[in-house]
Amino acid sequence: MRRKDREVTDIKEIFKIIDECVCCRIGFYDKDEVYIVPMNFGYSVCDNSTILYFHSAKEGRKITLIKKNENVGFEMDTDYKLNVGETACSTSAKFKSIIGNGVISFVNNKIEKEFALKKIMYQSTKKDDWAFDEDMLESVCIFKIVINKLTCKVHN
């Protein structure tokens, strides 16, 4: 990261920023281009690994791309505000952002699927008392990114 003065390395602060985010953009490799999809998400920490969870329909471009390449990038941000200056060069933006990459895979275990859906719903609603029946679990595709690299930047 070029601007080390804006880098956040305290993992507790990073998780606070992730808690504020409502959208995670996933970048998939697709031949000679990158396909970026904004997604609702949830996360958990397990055995010192941070895992992002997502849900979608069982078919479509992202599902095809997950099957082709397990390596993805992601980005999430929050608290954006443009600070207009007297000149273009003095105009800047306030923001908090997370950028990283990891390995994406499908979640097929029903217990983990339910866990993932609860994390996704919590991230969006801050409620954790959701219940999912068998039909709900069967109707949705769940996938996860196990993060292998993450950077966090804050500009006030």
CATH of the domain at 148: 2.30.110.10
Domain carrying residue 100: 4-155
Mean pLDDT on 8-27? 95
As for how many domains the chain has, the answer is: 1
Work out the number of other CB atoms within 10 angstroms of the CB of residue 91: 11
What mean pLDDT is reported for the chain?
Answer: 94
Q: Is the pLDDT of residue 47 over 70?
A: yes
Residue 25, helix vs strand vs coil = strand
**In the prediction, which pLDDT does 71 show?**
97
The reply to whether the predicted model has a pTM over 0.85 is: yes
Query: Are the C-beta atoms of residues 146 and 90 closer than 8 Å to each other?
Result: no
Q: Which residues pair with 36 in a beta bridge?
A: 27
**In the prediction, which pLDDT does 2 show?**
67
Residue 13, helix vs strand vs coil = helix
Query: Are the C-beta atoms of residues 102 and 75 closer than 8 Å to each other?
Result: no
Query: Are the C-beta atoms of residues 120 and 127 closer than 8 Å to each other?
Result: no
Percentage above 90 pLDDT, the chain: 86
Query: Are the C-beta atoms of residues 74 and 25 closer than 8 Å to each other?
Result: yes
Chain centroid, CA 47 distance in Å:
19
**In the prediction, which pLDDT does 124 show?**
94
Chain centroid, CA 65 distance in Å:
17
**Site of tokens 């390449």:** 69
pLDDT 10s digits, 102-153: 999 999 999 999 999 999 999 999 998 999 999 999 999 999 999 999 999 9
Instruction: Place 1 in a pLDDT band, splitting at 50, 70 and 90.
Output: low
